Structure 1
Amino acid sequence: MKKSIMVWAASAVLYLGVVIAGYSVYASMNPKADEHTDHTAATVQEEEAVDNQSNHDSHGSHGAAAPSEITRTVSYVNGEIIIELKDKNNHAPELEVSHEKNMHLIVVSSDLQEYHHLHPEKKSAGVYQTKVNLADNSYKVFVDIKPKGLNYSVEPIELHVGNIPHEHGGNDLVADMEFTKTINGQTVELTTRSFEVNKEITLNFNVKDAKPDRYLGALGHVVILDEGGEKYIHVHPVADDKTVFGTQFAKPGIYKLWAEFKFGGQVNVYPFVIEVKK
């Protein structure tokens, strides 16, 4: 009887050793399921972030995942807008040329009625200036640049001109029912009628058998702002010979866009108000 118990105990110890050894081999070949799941989720999130950033950048909104490394100061003195740029080390950043210019400056009144697309010239290190006649009002200014080797995102800067109340009303934008506009005798129609959130949108402009002149390296430019004048999108044609633009909207709501085309040496700006739906 005693011998049987000893044999049974020895067998149990041997069996336990085999189980532990087998599990160790299995664990080394197969990481924990929860660790594998977490790694997969992180990888998917990283890939989605890369894809979203790629799409964002391709739409000309100059979004950046990292904080902007450029500080901007905008002032208006004696009919001139003055922009001062500094990097994180308080140095003047070097700017890349984008569509034939170092800087595209978009100035829009807070009610989104007045619109200017300007190209300030460099006056000294980090200082750019341009002349423009602005009425007393509150404006949103967008400094559209590509600093070399630095993160940058285009964000609105408040600019107050003249004696105006600090608290001013918003805008009364209503989506257009008519998508054909005539400026300086040249008619342009926005033939796109459906605008949905989180979908690739093709903005197709019919220039009525006319052919626009090339303007800043393209057949046209489109600037888009949301109703609050916070979200900025700047897009260019999808091809060199077409007045077709591709973009995407992250949120539903009312947006205003300005389509710029050059005919006979004159740049016409065609405003449209659209509604992006879920």
Structure 2
Amino acid sequence: MNTCLSVGVLSVFFVAAYFVLRALPTAQCGFLHYEEIVNAEGEIELCATNHAGFIDLTRFTYPLVAQIGIESPISLGSETQVRLSLETPGGMEIAPHELAVTHTEKMHVMVIDPSLEDYHHLHPEAVGIGGDYQFNFKPTRSGNYRVFTEIVPLRSRRQAIALSQLEVTGESEMPEFARSTESIVHGVRFELLDAPEVLQTGRDYRLELQVTATAGDEIVLETVMGAKGHMVAFDGEGKGFAHMHPIDSVASVRTAGLGSAAAKSTGLAFLFNVPNPGWYRLFAQIQVKGEPVFGRFDLKVE
């Protein structure tokens, strides 16, 4: 009798474990650890405590579906309201109250055109209490924009990502790359210091970002998403993206392996690690006088 009972208990345990594991993201970075912290607004949020690196969505999948909806075709240069619905693969809506706050937002949406020239970092607003959200979008290029939706459901406390598309009328262009570690935008100079000529796959690189004013004036970096800057990278083949946060933030110093040295850094530093060779375009985002400013760089990986 005891043997039969033990077998029954073990069977129930393994069946339950099977369904739990099936519900988790099948991705390397789907198992990010999150820690509850209090952000600058006094809100409790979950922030990643280790480095995600580049996410190749051709290799890994997540239990998340993001459907894009528009009322009329999107034209170049005109602002359009876009509807975004979030569901599980089984069709269950993912409501706003089911999403954790990460880096001061419940949702991060990265939008990029085929030429990798027109990048948008957006935070859709909930429409009602179901799984519908919306954001405004004004493209400067034509073609099928890739839309990366990034959330952390409260139930799983795991990163979940969905890829969808947003079509803008007109012919698209292919990206053109040339190694660059300096970018000047609206009087702001962005520089990646000591970046190697060619990076290697599978290695962590510490990218130091220096931001100065071209006129020599002092530039004051305002807080955006809980930090003084952020960085996103896209690959030339359109396989995925990397969403990087400063390694001297509360959430990532511990696992960056840099300890107090990173915390004392006067600049912004990011960890960058990619699995595939090729060209990568990086966008650095800061905020000055209430307005976002984006610098860009091109790096080659072998």
Deviation sequence 1:163-190 (CA, Å, 0-9, x none):
x46xx553222322xx222222121211
Larger Rg: 1
Shift of 1:152: 5.4
| Inter-partner Cα distance in structure 1 for 2:248 and 2:161 | 24
Deviation sequence 1:199-243 (CA, Å, 0-9, x none):
111110112364411111011110011112222110100114641
Aligned mate of 1:159, from 133, 149, 166: 166
| Inter-partner Cα distance in structure 2 for 1:255 and 1:270 | 14
Aligned to 1:127: 132
Deviation sequence 1:93-149 (CA, Å, 0-9, x none):
221111111111111111111111111100021011011223542211111111233
Aligned to 1:141: 147
Aligned residues: 224
Aligned to 2:290: 265
Length-normalised TM-score, structure 1 = 0.71
Aligned to 1:214: 223
Shift of 1:197: 1.5
Seen in structure 2, the aligned counterparts of structure 1 residues 52 and 85 have a Cα distance that, compared at 3 Å, is: closer
Question: RMSD in angstroms over aligned alpha carbons?
Answer: 2.9
| Inter-partner Cα distance in structure 2 for 1:193 and 1:60 | 17
What letter is aligned with 1:74?
Answer: I
Kept after mapping to 2: 8 A contact 1:85/1:92 = yes
Aligned mate of 2:238, from 204, 226, 229: 229
| Inter-partner Cα distance in structure 2 for 1:102 and 1:116 | 17
Kept after mapping to 2: 8 A contact 1:192/1:202 = no
1:193 aligns with 2:186: no
Kept after mapping to 2: 8 A contact 1:63/1:154 = no
Seen in structure 2, the aligned counterparts of structure 1 residues 257 and 51 have a Cα distance that, compared at 3 Å, is: closer
* Long gaps (5+) in structure 1: 1-48
Q: Which has the higher contact order (CA 8 A, sep 6+)?
A: 2
| Inter-partner Cα distance in structure 1 for 2:179 and 2:163 | 23
Kept after mapping to 2: 8 A contact 1:70/1:152 = no
What letter is aligned with 1:80?
Answer: Q
Higher helix share: 1
Shift of 1:52: 10
Aligned to 2:270: 245
Seen in structure 2, the aligned counterparts of structure 1 residues 152 and 98 have a Cα distance that, compared at 3 Å, is: closer
Aligned to 2:121: 117
Kept after mapping to 2: 8 A contact 1:108/1:114 = yes
Kept after mapping to 2: 8 A contact 1:69/1:152 = no
Shift of 1:91: 2.4
Shift of 1:253: 1.0
Kept after mapping to 1: 8 A contact 2:201/2:273 = yes
- What pairs up with 1:23-172 in 2 under 5 angstroms? 58-59=51-52, 67-77=61-71, 79-93=80-94, 94-124=98-128, 125-134=130-139, 136-150=142-156, 153-162=160-169, 164=170, 170-172=174-176
* Long gaps (5+) in structure 2: 1-26, 34-47, 73-79, 213-217, 250-265
> What secondary structure does 1:154 align onto?
strand
Which has the higher mean CA deviation after the structures are superposed, 150-159 or 190-199? 150-159
Shift of 1:156: 3.2
